[in-house]
Structures are given as structure tokens and as C-alpha cells.
Amino acid sequence: GGVAAAAACVAALLVPRLLAARYGTAVGEIRRVPLADGSMAAINTDTALEVAMKPRKREVRLDKGEAWFQVAKDAQRPFVVESGPVRVRAVGTAFSVRRRTGGCEVLVTEGVVEVWSEGAGEAPRRVAAGERVFVSDSAGAARPAAASLEITRELAWREGQIVLDGEAFGAAAEEFNRYNARKIVIVDRGLADQRLVGWFRTNEPESFARAAAASFGAKVTVRGDAILVEASAALAE
């Protein structure tokens, strides 16, 4: 009897540890991770998160970066992502959370989630599939906006892609720099406002820079870990 009781105590101590895990990605790395409850997480570049499967709640703490979650249904245990004071709660749905300066961006691809900030003292706001919302750490959630096509483009990272549809070169370069040690540097800032359309691989910044430069007559020079984009003499004139 004593042995059985001791074994039960050991098992009880081990269970919480077995159901908690930390995941991280390096710059340029994208991972797909099955979670203990049957959910799935796609973890973007330079991300750190911790998952804890508790008896009454499934908790994910996003310390930095971005992740997309396909949540297994379990009405008795809501799935809650915490990032700073921001909270995103779901039962069975799919959504992404990206930690930004001062808050989090939430994109919902299936179902409905509730978002709020512990720092704002607000009631949860519902966000439905095809909507996006920014949740400020201090001010809480803005009004959700319909953005189905934008969401599809912005989540292309799950397949290692960046899809541009009129984005500025400067913003696109920043996005590529999230994934690569070799950074795109726009030498002539006037080029940053050039608009681009196209499909690119996240791990091919030089190919992107050369394609972009060719489209508006600029030139590209690679020096060490820098991909320099500058106006050609003709463009500068």
C-alpha cells in the first residue's frame, strides 16, 4: 500500500511537468509543433513561448515573436494566450498572436476569440474569423477590422513565404530582416516608398532585393551581412 501511495505521489508531481513545455525559434526558423491537447502551433522566426496544460485552462505565454494556433475543442478548458498584459481566449478556433512594441496584433482565421488587456481594465472584445485587431498593453483592444485577404497574405510565413500586394519597399525590407542574419539596408530612403507586388521566399533576401531594385531601377551591392540598395546614377538624377 505504501509503495502504491508513493508511486501515486510521484505521478502527481510529474504530470504538471510533462504537460508544460517551452518552444523557441532562431532567426529564420519556422516550426510546427503538436501540443499535448491535440492543438497545433506554427511558430514564426525569433519567437519564445511556453505552453502549460492545466486541469481547467490551457495556457500559452508568448514572450516574444509570433505564433499561429489551431486549437483543439475543449469547452471545459479554454485556450488562453498571454503576452505581457494582453490576453487572447479561445475554445476551438484558429488565430495568430504577434508581440509588437506596446501590444499584440491578433489575426483570426477560424471561429471567434476574445481579447483584452489586464492593464486596461476593459471587458473582453470578440474578434471573428477574417478580422484583425491590435490590443494595446495599456489601452486595450481597438475595434476589430475585416481583413480576410490581408490575413491570408500575412500568414504566408507558415509556408516560408512573404506575399506582397502593394506594400512599400521599406516595410517589406523590414519583414525580410526578421528572418535573416543578412539584412537589407536601404541606402537612399527615397526608395523606401516604392510599392511592390510579388511572392518571395522568406530565406532569400538577396533575390528579393535584386527583384525589387530591378523594378524601380536601383542597384544592389552585397557587403558582408548587408544587402545595400541604392539609387542608380540615372535614378538619382
More confident residue, 35 or 12: 35
* Per-residue pLDDT at 118 exceeds 60: yes
Question: Which CATH number belongs to the domain containing residue 178 in this structure?
Answer: 3.55.50.30
Specify if 195 maps to a domain.
yes
Of 167, 197, 187, whose CA–CA distance to 236 is shortest?
Answer: 187
Share of the chain above pLDDT 70, in %: 90
Q: How confident is the model at residue 11 (pLDDT cuts 50, 70, 90)?
A: very low
* Per-residue pLDDT at 8 exceeds 80: no
pLDDT at 198: 96
Q: Concatenated DSSP letters for 55-115?
A: SS-EEEEEEESEEEEEPPP-TTS-EEEEETTEEEEESS-EEEEEEETTEEEEEEEESEEEE
* Per-residue pLDDT at 103 exceeds 60: yes
Q: Using an 8 Å Cβ cutoff, are 133 and 106 in contact?
A: yes
pLDDT at 157: 98
pLDDT at 50: 98
Q: What is the pTM of this model?
A: 0.87
Q: Mark whether 132 and 171 lie in a shared domain.
A: no
Question: Across all residues in the chain, what is the average pLDDT?
Answer: 92
Q: How confident is the model at residue 233 (pLDDT cuts 50, 70, 90)?
A: low
Q: Mark whether 139 and 38 lie in a shared domain.
A: yes
Q: Mark whether 140 and 178 lie in a shared domain.
A: no
The total number of structural domains that make up the chain: 2
The three-class DSSP label of residue 164 is strand
Average pLDDT over residues 9-25: 65
* Per-residue pLDDT at 3 exceeds 60: no
Q: Mark whether 58 and 141 lie in a shared domain.
A: yes
Return the C-alpha cell found at 130: 477574417
Average pLDDT over residues 206-218: 97
- Of the residues 151, 183, 215, which one is the last residue of a structural domain? 151
> Which residue range(s) make up the domain with 100?
19-151
Average pLDDT over residues 99-115: 98
Q: Mark whether 92 and 191 lie in a shared domain.
A: no
For residue range 132-168, what is the model confidence (pLDDT) as tens digits? 999 999 999 999 999 999 999 999 999 999 999 999 9
More confident residue, 19 or 61: 61
Specify if 6 maps to a domain.
no
- Of the residues 151, 183, 201, which one is the last residue of a structural domain? 151
Average pLDDT over residues 202-231: 97
- CA-to-CA distance for 75 and 79, rounded, in angstroms? 9
Q: How confident is the model at residue 121 (pLDDT cuts 50, 70, 90)?
A: confident
Q: Using an 8 Å Cβ cutoff, are 47 and 14 in contact?
A: no
Segment (H or E) for 22: strand 20-24
Q: Mark whether 211 and 137 lie in a shared domain.
A: no
* Per-residue pLDDT at 229 exceeds 60: yes
Q: Mark whether 164 and 119 lie in a shared domain.
A: no
Question: Which CA distances in Å does 100 have to 57, 84, 97?
Answer: 25, 11, 9
pLDDT at 2: 55
Specify if 4 maps to a domain.
no
Of 62, 111, 54, 56, whose CA–CA distance to 82 is shortest?
Answer: 62
Q: Mark whether 111 and 52 lie in a shared domain.
A: yes
Distant-in-sequence, close-in-space partners of 187: CB < 8 Å, separation ≥ 6: 228, 229, 230, 231
